[in-house]
Amino acid sequence: MKADSVCVYILALGSLLSSTSTSSSTVTAKEINADPGCTGRTTTIYSTITEDVCRDGMTCTPESGWTNSVSSEYKFCNYDQAGYLRYAFPNVQYLLFEYFEDNECKTLIQSSAILADGKCHSSVHYTLMFKTGDDGTAYVLSRGIDCDRGPWSNFTEPIPKTMINTGKCFVGEHTIAKVYLVNGSTSSSTSTSANTSVATSATNGRGTANTTASSSAMRTTLSMLILAIASTFAAI
């Protein structure tokens, strides 16, 4: 009877262990990259991230424009949001927008991340530059043709310093979002999310890193329990 009971416990814990391995949700990330025509990823300029699950791994579509400019759109289906942001923006600063459909910022629509290194970056469809005003307001500017030509305009609404890295819901004329200026070189990652299990932070990548870390710890604990029970079973 003892042996039968131990077997039941092992099976139950094994099932629970398996379920924790899939607790991180997969997102669809579409990335505008300076890569000239899918020859090899270089600089991530702008990304949009949705909670939709896709199953294509990674794909790339070359982009070409009337000014003879060439860039690439990558699509990633093999990351959660935190993992993708670490991959796309290693050792660089980026501005993360989490867009919501309601003024309380409870229902997430999608997220976007924009390279925020203070330099102008151009692709076929986007010419973007991040800058900070004297009062700490964050601006993402867009230029009409390329980095050397065309008038500058706001690509996103200017975000006051008081709304950045605070977890507050910014409600603008055309934008409802939480906004984070993220240091991609920070190895740890805790941040805000539409998922209530993820905590708010100021300086590192938004996503499911805490959830992933918790799941990893749980898997380790359960593995130890299974080994202990298996040893007990062997001794019976």
Span 92-98, mean pLDDT? Answer: 98
How many angstroms separate the CA atoms of 160 and 168, rounded? 11
Residues 118-141 have pLDDT tens digits of: 999 998 888 999 999 999 999 999
The pLDDT assigned to 64 comes to: 82
How many residues in total does the chain contain?
236
Residues 141-177 have pLDDT tens digits of: 999 878 998 899 999 999 999 999 999 999 999 999 9
**Mean confidence (pLDDT) of the chain:** 77
Look at 40-54, 98-112, 162-176, 209-223 and tell me which has the smallest mean pLDDT.
209-223
Do residues 128 and 140 touch, judged by C-beta distance below 8 A? yes
Look at 21-30, 50-59, 121-130, 196-205 and tell me which has the smallest mean pLDDT.
196-205
The pLDDT assigned to 230 comes to: 52
Span 31-57, mean pLDDT? Answer: 92
Q: Answer whether residue 10 shows pLDDT above 80.
A: no
The pLDDT assigned to 15 comes to: 46
Residues 186-226 have pLDDT tens digits of: 733 334 443 322 223 334 445 433 333 334 444 444 455 45
The pLDDT assigned to 231 comes to: 56
**54 pLDDT tier (thresholds 50, 70, 90):** confident
DSSP state of 32: E
Kindly give the interhelix angle for 209-235 and 2-20, rounded to the nearest 10 degrees. 160
How many angstroms separate the CA atoms of 47 and 111, rounded? 8
The pLDDT assigned to 4 comes to: 55
pTM here is 0.70
Residue type, 82: A
Long-range CB contacts for residues 165-170, cutoff 8 Å, separation at least 24: 165/201, 165/202, 165/203, 166/202, 167/192, 167/200, 169/100, 169/103, 169/104, 169/105
Do residues 23 and 46 touch, judged by C-beta distance below 8 A? no
The pLDDT assigned to 223 comes to: 52
Do residues 128 and 114 touch, judged by C-beta distance below 8 A? yes
The pLDDT assigned to 185 comes to: 86
**21 pLDDT tier (thresholds 50, 70, 90):** very low
